[in-house]
Structure formats: C-alpha cells, structure tokens
Structure 1
Amino acid sequence: MVAAPGVHDPAMRGIVGTDRMGRGGAMTHGAIRLEDAAATMGGQPVWQHVSGSFSPGSMTAIAGANGTGKSTLLRVIMGELPLAQGTITRGGLGPRDFGYLPQARIIDRNFPISVTDMVLGGAWRQTGAFGRADRTVRLRAAAALRRVNLEGQAERMISALSAGQFQRLLFARLLMTDAQVIVLDEPFTALDTPTTQDLLALVCEWHAQGRTIIAVLHDIHQIRTCFPDVVLLHAGRATWGRTPDILTPVTLQRAYGGARDPWPETGMQA
C-alpha cells in the first residue's frame, strides 16, 4: 500500500487540507440535508419522499440495485440536478466545495491529453479554467501522482493507461481539488485488490482529515467494513442510517432479492 505523505511535506500543502479543519477535525460547513425530496429523469420518478442528512465529516455509502437512482442522488447533492419536489440545503457549501469522481466508463479515454495535464485540470480552483499552472501547482500535481503510485506515468497519454492506472489518475486529479466534500460514483468497480486497497486507503485519509465522503458502492462487505453510514435505495424510497442497522438480511432481501442476506462477510458484490 502506498504510504501517505506527511502534512508538513511542502509539495502536499493544499492537498491534505489541514487549514480547513474545524474543532474535532470536522470541516467547517453545515450538514447536507434533504427533506421529502423527489427526483425525476425524463419525466419519470426516480425516487421520492427521501429525507436524511450527511453530517460534516461523515462517511456514507449509497447502495441499491441497478436503476434505483444512486447516481441521480449524487447529482442532486452537487446541485447538478434540481429536485422535482422537497428541499435540499447544503450548509453553506457551493459548487467549488465539491470534488467529484465520475464513473470511469463515461470518460472518453481517447481524448488526447497527458497524465500530467489531466491531473493539473483538478487545480482549476487555483488556476482558473484556462489558467497556467505555476511551479507550486505542478509540484502539487507531481505529489498527487506519487500518492497514487503513478509518478512514472506523468508524460504518457491517458489512452495508454490500464483501467487500474486510469482510476488512480482520477483519484490524483481529485486530490488537486482540495474539496471539502468528496463525491465518488462507483470508484472501485472492476479494479484489482491492490488498487482497491490503495485507493480505499486514500478515501479513509480524506475522512480522517474531516472531509465529508459520499460514495456509490456495490460491494456490501466493503460498505459494512469501511462506511459507518449508508443510504439504501429501493423501490423509489431510501432507507437511511447507520450501516449495521440498515444492511440487515431483511433490507438486503427487499433491495436485491433472494431468500436471505445474499452478500455476507465475503466481499461479494451486489
């Protein structure tokens, strides 16, 4: 597993985000809260009557079968999709406070851009959309690549990377954002065990720094092991709470089908 750089590493200043911590290690923003919320896509309801909150510094998985609206919930949280009804409050957070890692499969990997340039794109808050990256930003980019074990790939084109390397690259780009809220859509799908462990360790570091983590995940064992809170989407509704209370044999049977808990402590995926 790749070791994390210390918070006093000059190249990592602004990546580890120690300047935004509130008391107790939590980030200085309010809860993200939904009240009786509903979302639609193409005029069709996706989910409705959803109420719950993501506390500052919390670590929450979003689970559910395919088509239940997990990615839609992420888009609502970030403000990319308006609610059809109900309300959402973001505790003073704006678009610049969210760092987003989309599903890798929706990204065109044939786009002619180098690994370094893609990582630098994560620093848009500092450089502007078309700004030049100065030496400090480039040092941060190099440190981010080291953190995800891609320092030897900096000059390659993204099309030359393996699936695991490309996912590491997306995490390096996310490191550059220094966001208060980290939003991940299926971040570990189709990755080998070492890559998953390295990237999950990085997510846990973000959580330890007080950042709010919200991740769509399919691995029930992974959720049970690493994520204290969960939102389970099923039949247009959400069951929201502490992971041990929500991921029971009964709720999993309702959400995924089967006579009993189909994903016990084995690491199998839903």
Structure 2
Amino acid sequence: MAADLGGAVMAAVLELRNLSLGYPDLALFKHLSLDMKAGTTLAVLGANGSGKSTFVKMLLGLVDPLAGRLHWPSGRPGEIGYLAQLTEFDRRFPIRVRDLVAMGAWRGFGLWSGLGRGGRNRVAAALEEAGIPDLADRSLHTLSGGQLQRALFARVILQDAPLILLDEPFAAVDQSTEAHLLSIIKRWREEDRAVVLVVHDLSSVLDHCSHVLLLGNGTATHGSVAEVLTPDLLVAHGYLSQSQASWMFRGSIDQKGQAHA
C-alpha cells in the first residue's frame, strides 16, 4: 500500500507505484510506492550516490524508472517548479537578476510578447518575497552563493507550480538565508503545493518536513520523520556508521538499546 504523505482530505498530486530506479547494471532502489499530497513537504535524504538527484530527475521526466509507474491523478501539471543544485548553474550567463527571475514565467508571458506591467509586477513581488529587491539589476556573476539561491527561489515563485522540487537548496547559504528560504517553503505548503526537498545532512531543515524518503544501499524507506530517522535505519541505508549513530542518538536510547525517534 502506498504511504500517505498527507491528511485524509488532501489530494494526491503524484502517486508512485512499485517504482524501481537506477541503471541497467545498478538499481538504486526497488518497489517504492508513495503518494505526494498537496500541502506536504517530503525530504529526500541519503549519502552521496544514493540516488537523491536521480529521483528528482525522474520526477521531472528526465530519467525513466526501471520498473513501476508514476500516476498524476489530475494530469501532469503544465509546470513543475524546479531548483537545481548550485553546482549545475552557470552564473557567468550574461543576464540580470530580474531577467533570471522572469524566466520562471516564460510560459505565461510568451516567447515574443515580453513583459507587460502585470508581468513586471509579478517579478518585483517575487524579488521582494525572496528578500532581494535591491539586486534586480545586478549581473549574476556578481552575486554571492546565498544571493543567487534567493534569485533562483524567486524564479520558482513565478513558476506557480503545484509540485516544487528543490535539490540541495541550502548547500551554500548562511543560517539567515536558510531561515528566509524556509519561510517561502512554509508559504508554499500553506498554499497546498507539494514540495520535495533534497537534503544531504540531518539538519534543522527536517523540522519543516512532514515526511522523509531515506535512500541508500539499494533500498528506499519512507514515512514520517520520527519513523524513518532512527539509528537502525540510518545505519542500514549507509547514511551513518554504527559508531556515528550511537554518538548522535546517545541521548535517545534506553537501557534496552531501543531508539526513541
């Protein structure tokens, strides 16, 4: 049975059924079933090479699963919000911040029509929400990592998508920027958007997620944060060594050696 990643009244944006992902000579995981529901945030966690980014690319339709299927109950959305890892972004591209943000709504603006007043207002509002209205006319190559990430979040805001995929969005930002971007994610969740958030470490980000998909060692485990982030599962998926797990969870293990999530 598929895991329920939301409340009973929340509609599923995407359903994964008996899904296997990987390559002809390597299965990253097999037989995964879950529902991504409106108003939920799913953290995808795992060690390097566990398949986190490949999972996101599959959701985008860039990689085909080895087996199983993806089902869109209301039809595949015309737009999926996507923020790639900063390492995949070439900031030498000669455009201004406002132009980068406007690309998030190119479907609505049209290829040749350009921005009208309404479009310019939407760009300005997205820059304001991302906290960078004063950077609108800056060239991308002049931005810090945190400033560029805010600009990319503003572009996702303009995409106005029911499903938003964020691949390592906090890898190069300070705590203040992380807190600001998390407030944007919270607003998306309150608007009943489904958010998939790829993270690399066990951080405070997980406090803002309803569920976790833990990948590693050819397996995938999903459920609530409390259910999945246990010493046994983190070790079994190759995310932590036994000694690391014992140290990190030393305050949550009783005399019988059972972990309290």
The TM tier, using the shorter chain, reads: 0.7 to 0.9
Call closer, same or farther: CA 1:60–1:261 in 2, change over 3 Å: farther
Shift in Å, 1:124? 1.3
Shift in Å, 1:42? 6.7
Call closer, same or farther: CA 1:253–1:88 in 2, change over 3 Å: same
Call closer, same or farther: CA 1:242–1:261 in 2, change over 3 Å: farther
CA contact (8 A) 2:23 2:66 kept: no
CA contact (8 A) 1:79 1:95 kept: no
CA distance in 2, matches of 1:110, 1:261: 45
Q: Deviations over 1:103-157 (max 9, x none)?
A: 1110111011111111110111211344411110011101111111111111111
Q: What's the counterpart of residue 240 of structure 2? A: 257
CA contact (8 A) 1:65 1:234 kept: yes
Call closer, same or farther: CA 1:261–1:245 in 2, change over 3 Å: farther
Say whether residues 1:62 and 2:72 are aligned partners: no
CA distance in 2, matches of 1:161, 1:264: 39
Q: What's the counterpart of residue 22 of structure 2? A: 40
CA contact (8 A) 1:33 1:52 kept: yes
CA distance in 2, matches of 1:64, 1:119: 30
* Counterpart among 191, 213, 216 of residue 231 in structure 1: 213
Q: Deviations over 1:142-185 (max 9, x none)?
A: 11111111111111111110111000000011111111111100
Report the 3-state secondary structure (helix = DSSP H, G, I; strand = E; otherwise coil) of the residue aligned with 1:136. helix
Report the 3-state secondary structure (helix = DSSP H, G, I; strand = E; otherwise coil) of the residue aligned with 2:43. strand
TM-score by length of 1: 0.83
Call closer, same or farther: CA 1:263–1:101 in 2, change over 3 Å: farther
Identity %: 34
Q: Deviations over 1:166-212 (max 9, x none)?
A: 00000011111111111100011121000000001110111011111
CA distance in 2, matches of 1:25, 1:222: 28
Report the 3-state secondary structure (helix = DSSP H, G, I; strand = E; otherwise coil) of the residue aligned with 1:220. coil
CA contact (8 A) 1:78 1:95 kept: no
Q: What's the counterpart of residue 5 of structure 2? A: none
CA distance in 2, matches of 1:32, 1:242: 18
CA contact (8 A) 1:145 1:154 kept: yes
Say whether residues 1:75 and 2:57 are aligned partners: yes
* Counterpart among 37, 51, 54 of residue 33 in structure 2: 51
Say whether residues 1:185 and 2:172 are aligned partners: no
Report the 3-state secondary structure (helix = DSSP H, G, I; strand = E; otherwise coil) of the residue aligned with 2:171. coil
CA distance in 1, matches of 2:129, 2:25: 43
Shift in Å, 1:84? 1.5
**Letter aligned with residue 175 of structure 1:** I
CA contact (8 A) 2:13 2:194 kept: no
CA distance in 1, matches of 2:115, 2:182: 28
Shift in Å, 1:264? 5.6
Call closer, same or farther: CA 1:25–1:240 in 2, change over 3 Å: closer
Shift in Å, 1:30? 3.1
Say whether residues 1:126 and 2:94 are aligned partners: no
* Counterpart among 65, 72, 77 of residue 90 in structure 1: 72
Report the 3-state secondary structure (helix = DSSP H, G, I; strand = E; otherwise coil) of the residue aligned with 2:203. helix
TM-score by length of 2: 0.85
Q: What's the counterpart of residue 203 of structure 1? A: 185
Which aligned segments of 4 or more residues in structure 1 are displaced greater than 3 angstroms? 41-44, 261-265
**Letter aligned with residue 17 of structure 2:** E
Report the 3-state secondary structure (helix = DSSP H, G, I; strand = E; otherwise coil) of the residue aligned with 1:94. coil
- Which shifted more, 88-97 or 110-119? 88-97
Q: What's the counterpart of residue 149 of structure 1? A: 131
Shift in Å, 1:226? 1.2
Shift in Å, 1:37? 1.1
Q: What's the counterpart of residue 13 of structure 1? A: none
> Size of the alignment, in residue pairs?
240
CA distance in 2, matches of 1:163, 1:117: 18
* Counterpart among 122, 130, 133 of residue 140 in structure 1: 122
Q: How do 1:237-252 and structure 2 match up within 5 A? A: 237-252=219-234
Q: Which runs of 5+ in 2 are unaligned?
A: 1-7, 251-261
